[in-house]
Amino acid sequence: MNKYICLLRGINVSGKNLIKMDTLKVALENLGFAQVKTYIQSGNIVFVSIAIHTNTLETLINEKIKKVFKLDIPVLVINEKDFNSIILANNFLKDSKIEPSKLHITFMAQKPLVDNIDVIATLNFGTDQFEISSDQIFLYCPNGYGNTKLTNTFFEKKLKVNCTTRNWNTVLKLAEMLEGIN
């Protein structure tokens, strides 16, 4: 059995794409997943499953959400090893002046094309900073994520990939939840 994190994009925001976490938990247990736990209402799930490719898990979860909730929600699944590697790869943590509460990670469904990365590499975002590493983007927004132009929509349009962002505290909480699963 392997441990996984599932991130849903754009649910329970401003009364749209409503998914109750207790119903979602049961739906995922009905797929055969074990120790399913959700964190807050924005689509953060940890679970255990037999070893399956993450792409297959994403499709299974997406289809289950379509069936149960009648919603087509982007789903991203990351295995425990990769999730922990992502956390360790955050170079912003090396700077003691960085406030962890201003850190975020934008998870991408796949690696963007280099040409698309080059387009945004030349743009100026003031004090906001980002670093693209494989299929995630580490963000530092000193004035808060609510005040940045470096949003999911920005990255999706410029990099032409589906994205979902989590704040650093949520990322660490999900890692802690993974660790707590047997």
Q: Is the pTM of this model over 0.85?
A: yes
pLDDT value at residue 78: 97
User: Rg of the Cα trace of the chain?
Assistant: 16
Instruction: Specify if 181 maps to a domain.
Output: no
Q: Domain count of the chain?
A: 2
Is pLDDT of 95 > 90?
Answer: yes
Q: Which domain holds residue 123?
A: 84-176
Inform me whether the pLDDT recorded for 16 exceeds 90. no
Task: Give the CATH number for residue 109.
Answer: 3.30.70
* Confidence band of 42 (pLDDT split at 50, 70, 90): confident
